[in-house]
Amino acid sequence: MITRRNLIGTSAVLAGAAAISGRVQAASIPEAVTTASPAMQPPLTPASGPAYQPVVTLNGWSLPWRMNGEWKEFHLVAEPVERELSPGMTAKLWGYNGQSPGPTLEFVEGDKVRIFVTNKLPEHTTVHWHGFVLPNGMDGVGGLTQPHIKPGKTFVYEFVAKRSGTFMYHPHADEMVQMAMGMMGFIVVHPRDPQERRVDRDFVFLMSSYDIDPGTSLPKVMTMTDFNLWTWNSRVFPGIDPLVVRKGDRVRIRIGNLTMTNHPIHLHGPHFEVTGTDGGWVRESARWPEVTTDVPVGGMRAIEFTAEEPGDWAIHCHKSHHTMNAMGHEVKTFIGTPQKDLTKAVRKLLPDYMPMGTEGMAEMGTMEMPMPDNTLPMMTGFGQFGPLEMGGMFSVVKVREGLARDDYKDPGPYKHPPGTVAYEVKGDIPDAMRRSDNSTKPGNVELSVVKPRTNRQGGQH
Amino acid sequence: MSAPTCVRATVFRRWSTLWRHKTQLLSFSALLLLPACASFSPDGGMSVTTDIAARHLRKDVVAIRNDEDADAARVKVDDLLKRTLNADTAVQIALFNNRGLQAAYNELGIAEAQRVQQSLPPNPSISISRLSGAAEIEIERKIAANILALLTLPARAEIATERFHRAQLAAALETLRVASDARKAFYRAVAARQAVGLLEQSSEASSTTAELAKRMTASGAMNKLDQSRQQLLHTELTTELARARQRATSERERLVRALGLSGKDLAFKLPSRLPSLPNRPPAMKTVEEEALNSRVDLKIARSELDSLAKSYGLTKTTRFVNVLESGYLDKRVEERATGEHKHQSGFELTLQVPLFDFGEARAREAEQTYMQAVNRLAQKAVNARSEAREAYRNYRTSYDVAARYQRDVLPLRNMISEELMLRYGAMQIDVFALLTEARQRIAANANAVDALRDFWLASADLQAAVIGGAGAPSDSPSSTTAMAGDGEPAGH
């Protein structure tokens, strides 16, 4: 206790580590700002405290704070929320301040931060400040470093943001359930010097996964691997905003992974370098060029690139099942199984039946089939040339010339300069020549394979 | 009404005349007057049956007595057979056409003949004896009538009438039974046919799955094991279908027998489905009372009791008198030598003296027979009430079960099918899951048909329990078409 008080250096009200009553007057708790919209909000330019270059949270927002002396005070409310995963589907999750993930917390290196956490969940919770070096009693591991925050209670965490970098917050109490329910948020600590590692656009998103049966809205928290919704900031394509970038901008994308598997994030077009992990910034000499970076479970990656090439550049997880939406993993494969002639018989029993999958599943991208309520199509989204056949962890980095500095508005599809789009070859196309078409002379190469046999009679004894 | 009264009046007249020795001729002629009173009824006693059929069945009945009747019935049956049958037309056809029923009506004819017979006074016996001796020839003429038979004529006529009445009720009962049988056979036949239709759909589904499985084995997407399972399922369903077809044929033949059809009539058309469930079951609060009032078999038992009572009373009054004969005698004696006639006349009364048989045994027998009938009637009444209660409860239960299928199970099954179709659209499940579900839906439909059939059978049984005409209570085995719906869980 004494150590902590010394560290914090505050004479303000003391007593037990748990309840704030008696230490901070209830009236002095800052207002908990909430939002009901999953839309991406403009970067929150700091109005008090040290200046920094704010980040943009994909389909999210940053939490306003207030200065209380030298303390930056935030108020997080853990509560059940309804999050639109994509137009047409809303999930009943747990989150913070009206949304899952919770609002991004932005600190500046050296800030003294005081974070009030009010628990409006039906069960106890805590908040763990993932990646922070802080007093052990502020680490938020229920039972180990602090008492749990019971429903209806408000706890306060106080620590100094010692180093700049990329962090997360999430519960460390019944965490399997609470993280499967969407409780998480992003923390960015900006350098004290706004010019240090300065970029023009700084995007952040957290990766989380959910298992929500079609027609339901509550995640199945017992699922360990077979999730069916792979999300960025609890959104799935086509519900994920594009990452809009002005040509020539220096761009940083910070990615956190709170799913139960790794995600190789692949960016088309510009090459990037991994400049940061949850352990800190990567020394310049140690960076290497990449087009895909594997974000480990519970890990963070900051990647940076300069947007030189205009266009619509896809960014996605390279596990192709993660760029689908809810799908039945037990569905049999019908490729090469003609079904059309059986359709009539099936329709006698199932009038709305139409055969699928005989030629693959691409038709799913074009079909508008009626589906259960509150369900997203498995492959979806349309671009200027047709169906994208995507869902889940997929978005587009839209590099455009002449955008305003804080303009994150979707500029629409890229207008390709003439002659720069793949095109169909017309006219006579010769048949592909196959190796087997060359008359091979028998006997040229002869291999005789002798299958080794065990001598049963001899081998037995 | 008039026949028995008429007989009685005449006999009384005769009785007094006889004993007053007044005009013997008159009494003799009175004997000859008697037959004019009892006669055959114009409808052959069918009025009761017609009445009951009209009131409870709302159907016509006809006793076919001649070619014209037969032709008329034939025309009506032909007309009814032209259309798709329903339960009512099936009953009507049976009533016109069932030969067993006609046999029961013949029975009625026989009873009527006996009634007429019993209402006739005994034929007088006429005897002539001629004795010729050496001296004279004696001719004795005698007209004798069994007085006891005459004395008991009113009672006997009444008993015969009662018996006739009973025969009428029996014919009515048989009519109700034939109607009930026809109705039940109709429901069974339609239900069996409907089950075949459902199984045909089911086997179509399994044939599709089997074919898909075969193709998927060819494409490399399915192994031999799974393919064999799909194939086996189809084979089993096909077998089930063959059995169902056999059942449908049997039920149709039962209906054919109930309707008494043959030849070209066999081409009659059945509806493809059972009539739908009534919106609400007619409430029947007074089912027991109704049964006690309406049951034809109870009426028969009561009538039996009445006639036994009469015959019991009769036996008591006649226990000492067994044979009593009186006769008019006329004797003519002719002298052979002189040719002279001597004429004597008078009457004769013979009485058997009940020296050994005082009629006690017969009286006891009659008494016990009477009491037997009393007890039988009481037991019948107890049974009737119980049967009515049971039938009503069975009817209500089968209504509730059928309603649950119609209002809950089938809509839910449809909902499940629709939801699965949506999941298919969302690529959550594949066509195999859809077809499995289709089979389960069909099985539920088959169960619903069984439940509906049981309801209609129960309603026929209820009618039988309340009005009479119950055959064996319908065994509703609920032969739930065992369908292979090995609910393979749909892909998630």
pLDDT in tens, B52-72: 788 778 888 888 888 888 888
Q: Please state the rounded mean pLDDT for residues B421-447.
A: 89
Confidence of residue B320 (pLDDT cuts 50, 70, 90): low
Q: How high does pLDDT run on average in chain A?
A: 88
Nearest CB to B421; choose among A327, A352, A375: A352
Over residues A441-457, the mean pLDDT reads 57
CA separation for the pair A69, A413 (Å, rounded): 48
Residue of B204, B424, B432 lying closest to A332 (CB–CB):
B432
Question: How confident is the model over B459-473, as a mean pLDDT?
Answer: 75
What percent of chain A is predicted at pLDDT more than 90? 68
Averaged pLDDT for residues A229-245 = 96
Is pLDDT above 50 for B484?
no
Residue B430 to residue A328, Cβ atoms within 8 A:
yes
The predicted pLDDT at position A452 comes to 61
Would the CB atoms of B208 and A350 count as touching at under 8 Å? no
Q: Would you place residue B42 in the very low, low, confident or very high pLDDT band (cuts 50, 70, 90)?
A: confident
Minimum CA–CA partner of A332 in chain B: B430
* Rounded average pLDDT over B468-484: 44
- Mean pLDDT within A257-269: 96
Of B212, B417, B428, the CB nearest to A339: B212
Quote the pLDDT of residue A102.
96
Please give the C-alpha separations between residue B334 and each of A12, A365, B138, B139, B337, in angstroms, as whole numbers: 167, 135, 6, 8, 9
How many beta-carbon contacts under 8 Å exist across A and B?
Answer: 117
Look at residue A93 in the predicted model and tell me its pLDDT: 96
Record the pTM.
0.74
Which pLDDT band holds residue B17 (cuts at 50, 70, 90)? very low
In this predicted model, which residue has the larger pLDDT, B159 or A256? A256
- Model confidence at A156: pLDDT above 70: yes
Asked whether residue A254 carries a pLDDT value surpassing 60, the answer given is yes
Residue A57: which pLDDT band, with cuts at 50, 70 and 90? very high
Looking at mean pLDDT, say which of A93-97, B126-130, B221-225, B422-426 comes out highest: A93-97
pLDDT at residue B14, as a whole number: 44
Tell me the average pLDDT across A313-328. 93
For the residues B309-324, what does the mean pLDDT come to? 62
pLDDT greater than 80 at residue B155: no
* Most confident by average pLDDT, A15-24, A126-135, B130-139: A126-135
Which of A346, A361, A380 best tests the B interface by mutation, with the highest count of B CBs <10 A? A346
List of E strands, B390-433: none
In sign, the C-alpha dihedral spanning B228, B233, B234, B236 is positive
Least confident interval from A54-63, A407-416, B26-35: B26-35
B207 vs A336: CB contact, 8 Å cut-off? no
Question: Residue A14 pLDDT more than 70?
Answer: no
Average pLDDT score over residue span A212-239: 93
Q: What is the pLDDT of residue A442?
A: 55
What is the 3-class SS of chain A, one letter each residue?
CHHHHHHHCCCCCCCCCCECCCCCCHHHCCCCCCCCCCCCCCCCCCCCCCCCCCCEECCCCECCCEEECCEEEEEEEEEEEEEEEECCEEEEEEEECCECCCCEEEEECCCEEEEEEEECCCCCECCEEECCCCCHHHCCCECCCECCECCCCEEEEEEECCCCEEEEEECCCCHHHHHHCCCCEEEEEECCCCCCCCCCEEEEEEEEEECCCCCCCCCCCCCCCCCCEEEECCECECCCCCEEEECCCEEEEEEEECCCCCEEEEECCCCEEEEEECCEECCHHHCCEECEEEECCCCEEEEEEECCCCEEEEEEECCHHHHCCCCCCCCCCCCCCCCHHHHHHHHHHCCCCCCCCCCCCCHHHHCCCCCCCCCCCCCEEEECCEEEEECECEEEEEEECCCCCCCCCCCCCCCCCCCCCCCCCCCCCCCCCCHHHCCCCCCCCCCCCCCCCCCHHHHCC
pLDDT band of residue A24 (cuts 50, 70, 90) is low
Q: Does the pLDDT of residue A3 top 60, yes or no?
A: no
- A104-116 average pLDDT score: 96
- A248 vs A8: which has the higher pLDDT: A248
The span from the first CA to the last CA of chain B, in angstroms, equals: 83
Predicted confidence (pLDDT) per residue in A336-393, tens digit: 888 888 888 888 888 888 888 888 877 777 777 788 889 888 888 899 999 999 999 9
- The three-class DSSP label of residue B299 is helix
Q: pLDDT band for B252, please (50, 70, 90 cuts).
A: very high
Of B216, B429, B435, the CB nearest to A331: B429
Q: pLDDT tens across B160-190, in order?
A: 877 887 788 888 888 888 999 999 999 999 9
How many Å lie between the alpha carbon of B277 and the closest alpha carbon of chain A? 24
Q: Bigger pLDDT: B113 or B189?
A: B189
Supply the pLDDT for residue B310. Answer: 75
| ipTM exceeding 0.85, yes/no | no
Which residues on chain B are in Cβ contact (under 8 Å) with A214? Answer: 422-423, 426, 428
Which residues of B have a CB under 8 Å from any CB of A?
Answer: 201, 204-205, 207-208, 211-212, 215-216, 218-222, 417, 419, 421-432, 434-435, 438, 442, 490-492
**Which phi and psi angles does B342 have, rounded to 5°?**
-120, 135
pLDDT-based confidence at residue A1 (cuts at 50, 70, 90):
very low
pLDDT at res. A12? 35
pLDDT confidence bin for A20, thresholds 50/70/90: very low
Q: What is the pLDDT of residue B486?
A: 37
Give the Cα separation of A431 and A433 in Å (integer). 6
Could you give the CA distance from residue A33 to residue A99 in angstroms, rounded to a whole number?
11
pLDDT at B463: 87
Q: Is the pLDDT at A179 greater than 80, yes or no?
A: yes
The three-state secondary structure class of B280 is coil
Residue B320 DSSP class: S
Q: Would you place residue A423 in the very low, low, confident or very high pLDDT band (cuts 50, 70, 90)?
A: very high
Q: What is the pLDDT of residue A319?
A: 96
Min mean pLDDT across A224-238, B135-149, B265-279, B400-414 is at B135-149
Q: Chain B residue closest to A350 (CA)?
A: B438
Is the pLDDT confidence value at B32 over 70? no
Report pLDDT digits (tens) over B326-345.
667 777 777 777 778 877 77
Predicted local distance difference test score (pLDDT) of residue B467: 83
Cβ of B221 within 8 Å of Cβ of A337? The answer is yes
The pLDDT, as a whole number, for residue B107 is 84
